[in-house]
Each structure stands twice: as structure tokens, then as C-alpha cells.
Structure 1
Amino acid sequence: MLLPRIGQTIRLTFAGSSEDTSLQTFKSRVVDMKDEIASIELPTSEETGRTGLFGAGAVCEVWYVGEDGSRYEFHSSITGRRSEPIPVLFLQLPPKEEILRTQRRNYLRIDTALDIAVKLEDPIRNYHFVARTVDISGGGLSFTCDESFRIQDHDSLKVWISMPSKTGQVQHAYAVVEVVRQKPAEKKGLHQWISGKFTEISEQDRVKVVRACYERQLELRKKGVVE
């Protein structure tokens, strides 16, 4: 399995370290690796932008997205810290066989309504419209739209995705989506349902989508909506 590399952005969820941080995701970056220890920047909350107090022994779940677009995760703990030349925490690295990998075909799919712009370039069906997703994952998405758009299986759609974050910033991703299923509206006047897979997407934009899915999952878990 793939260990994080130097310069890798990672996310950490601290379990039971305190009431304030137990359900927050913290962002950090690997600055050095030696033996079984990674030196990481002081983690900052993606919700508040502030760092936390993480002493030796603090237990956490770590996840990151590899160059292949897969999500990797492992159980870890903080073993110490250093203040000079820059403040860092020491993160215990697991044996490679203990790192879990989520394959591309098994991306976490989250029910969420995101604004998207959709474009179909066709000599007859030259559409450009806005819609909202029904669900999304690192491998594809589903959305609904007016039945007047005559979208068919295997159509290739250009899709621009708008993903707001907890900090109020909006990130955008672009993908080419192949329609794998089109479900007509059940009644006249209702929307049709379109499901598709990403056939073209940069790894940078896929990372944005995967991250948005897991942030949404954490948000739902915090509200008690999902286990």
C-alpha cells in the first residue's frame, strides 16, 4: 500500500482528544519522513482554520488521496513534537499492510445537492443548462433535469461542479461524464434522472470531489444522519 509522500496533504480526525476536536477534520502536510515517523505541519481545523492542542499519545485516523485517485487511510497517533526550525508533530506510520485503500470503483457516494453546469455538444441536441446533483462520488454523479433535454445513454456531457466548503469558499471541478443510465420522468412535468461516470477528470479535481464527499459524510455523521 502507498505511504504518504513528502509534500502530501493529509487529513486527520482525532478521536476522543477533546470534545472540541473529536468530530473535526484537521488538515496538515508531510514535511519529512524517517524510519516509521512522519513529520507533519501543525494540523489546522478545516472548519475554523485554527490549530489544536495535540500531545503525545493523541489517537487519530489519517486519510489522503494518492496519485492514482484512490483514498488511503490508517489508524495512527502523535508520538511527539518539535518547535525548531518549524513547529511539527511526529506521526506514527503504520506497516504498509495496515493501510486501507479504497479502489476507484468503490468511491464513497454521498447524497448531496450541488450546483452543476452541464453542456452537451451535438449537432441537434446542443444543450447548455444548470442542474443539481442527487449524489456524487469520486467516480461519477447523478442529477435531475427537465425532461425537455433529450439526454440518452452513452452521451458525453461536459460538467462543471460547484462545491462549497465549511469555510465559505467555493471550489470548482470539471469532468467529462458518460451517461450510463437515463430514467424518464415518472409523470409529465417532473424531472428526468441522469446517472453517469467520469471518463475525463484531472486528479486534482478528483481529489476535490473525494474530499467534498468525505467532508459531507463527516457533517452528516456529526448530525447523526449516518453511522
Structure 2
Amino acid sequence: MYPKIGDLLFMSVDSGDEKEAVIQYKSRIADMDEDSFLIEIPMQEGTGHLKRLFIGDELSIYFMTEGGIKNYFNSYVFGFKDDVIRMVRIRKPEPDSISKIQRRSFLRVNAELEVAVKTDKMIRFVARTYDVGGGGLSFYCDANQRIEEEEGLSCWVLVPYKNGSIEHVPFTGEVVRIKVLENGRKIVMVKFTLIADMERQKLIRYCFERQFEFRR
């Protein structure tokens, strides 16, 4: 069962930053069509601060139904509409994907893709991703690789599709967190700071193909 126009949605945003991912926002459904909900600009609960969203941002959402039951689903931003107010267009989930069990998984999927990295210090190397999504990705790097949190990166990632085609997706990003593994290697978590909408959609398409494979 879908929420209705006027219903509140409560959501968190996957930015690749664990601190950001636990902040909760709320928004109201202003309109809907066959494949999307149009929602008001989300507002942070407790502070009233508005949350600026970007195309490709991945959202974990719930809405309340009778009896105080929380209904959860995942979605992502794929457009905007300017009317009396500015609205955010988010993908309407499949009905059977709405669950009464909380899930913290976003559209990001585990994937080992080749990514070419250039740091602000002009250090260049090629790595393999740990996961990818519309809002960012993580990649492995060696223990001796000099890379720091908040550092800017210029990259491209090689994205293969089920039909055999391959895309090079360029982006710039910022390191939001570095996790050191037991073997000394690192997982570098990156949020996109500049990526063309068309390139972001290529990654989202790849994520949905992967999710479909996982479900099968």
C-alpha cells in the first residue's frame, strides 16, 4: 500500500558519511504520478533546517499507517519540479518492496569495479571498488597509499552492463571516511561532489541491474 498525497515521509540520506546517514528528515507528499512521488524539500527534525537534495541521492524512507505501523522502502532522487513550491521527484517503489521491517540498505551495491583515482596531491593509482551507488562509492587501496579524509579526488569508474556494454563514468569526489582493515589495507569511502546527471544515471542503472541479480 502506497502513502497518499499529504502524508508525511521520514527519511535519511546516504551520503557515504555515517554521521549524515543517521540524521532524520521529514517531508510531505505534494503530488504523485505513475512512477514517482513529488515531495516538499525535506526538513531536519528538531532543527527545521532544510536539506538540499541532488539527483541520485539515495534515501531510506518510512511512512506511518493506521495503528502507528511504520512502512519502509528505499528510493532515490531523479528530478525536480518547480510549481508554487519547489518539489523533489523520488522514485516510487514497487509495492512488494515496501516492508514493515526496517532496512538500512540503500541503493548502493557491493561491486568490484575498476576505478582510476587522482588525488589533490596529483597521486595517481588504479583501485577496485568495494561498493557503488548514485551518491558515492568506496574502494580498496594499499596500506602505503597516501590518502586522507576530506581530500578531493578526480576519478573515473568502469561500469559494465548485462548487455555487454561498458561505460567510463567520470566524477570528482571527497573522501569522507577511511577504514583500516586487519590486513592493513584501507577502504576509502567517497561522496560525489561533482558528477553529471547523465553519468550518475549510468551508475543508478548499474545498481538496479545488480539488485535484480541479487534478488534472483
TM-score tier (shorter): 0.5 to 0.7
- Which of 202, 211, 216 does residue 217 from structure 1 map onto? 211
1:207 is aligned to 2:206 = no
Structure 1 match to 2:120 = 121
Deviation at 1:72, TM superposition (A): 1.1
- Which of 151, 176, 181 does residue 177 from structure 2 map onto? 181
CA radius of gyration, larger in: 1
Structure 2 match to 1:108 = 107
Structure 2 match to 1:43 = none
- Where do 1:17-56 residues align within 5 Å? none
Structure 2 match to 1:156 = 152
- Contact kept in structure 2, 1:107 and 1:139, CA below 8 Å: no
Partners of 1:202 and 1:132 lie apart in 2 by 22
Q: SS at the partner of 2:79? A: coil
Structure 2 match to 1:194 = 188
- Contact kept in structure 1, 2:78 and 2:89, CA below 8 Å: yes
Q: TM-score, normalized by length of structure 1?
A: 0.51
Partners of 1:201 and 1:164 lie apart in 2 by 18
- Where do 1:75-154 residues align within 5 Å? 107-122=106-121, 126-154=122-150
Unaligned runs of 5+ in 2: 1-30, 36-74, 81-87, 96-104
Deviation at 1:211, TM superposition (A): 1.0
Structure 2 match to 1:28 = none
Unaligned runs of 5+ in 1: 6-62, 77-105, 223-227
Partners of 1:64 and 1:148 lie apart in 2 by 36
Aligned CA distance change for structure 1 residues 216 and 195 (closer, same or farther; 3 Å): same
Count of residue correspondences: 131
Structure 2 match to 1:72 = 91
Structure 1 match to 2:22 = none
Deviation at 1:171, TM superposition (A): 1.3
- Letter paired with 1:164: P
Deviation at 1:154, TM superposition (A): 0.0
Partners of 2:187 and 2:76 lie apart in 1 by 32
Q: Percent identity?
A: 37
Aligned CA distance change for structure 1 residues 147 and 207 (closer, same or farther; 3 Å): same
- Contact kept in structure 2, 1:4 and 1:64, CA below 8 Å: no
Deviation at 1:65, TM superposition (A): 6.6
Q: SS at the partner of 2:115? A: strand
Q: SS at the partner of 1:67? A: strand
- Letter paired with 1:218: F
Q: Deviations over 1:66-99 (max 9, x none)?
A: 33596513569xxxxxxxxxxxxxxxxxxxxxxx
Partners of 1:140 and 1:219 lie apart in 2 by 21
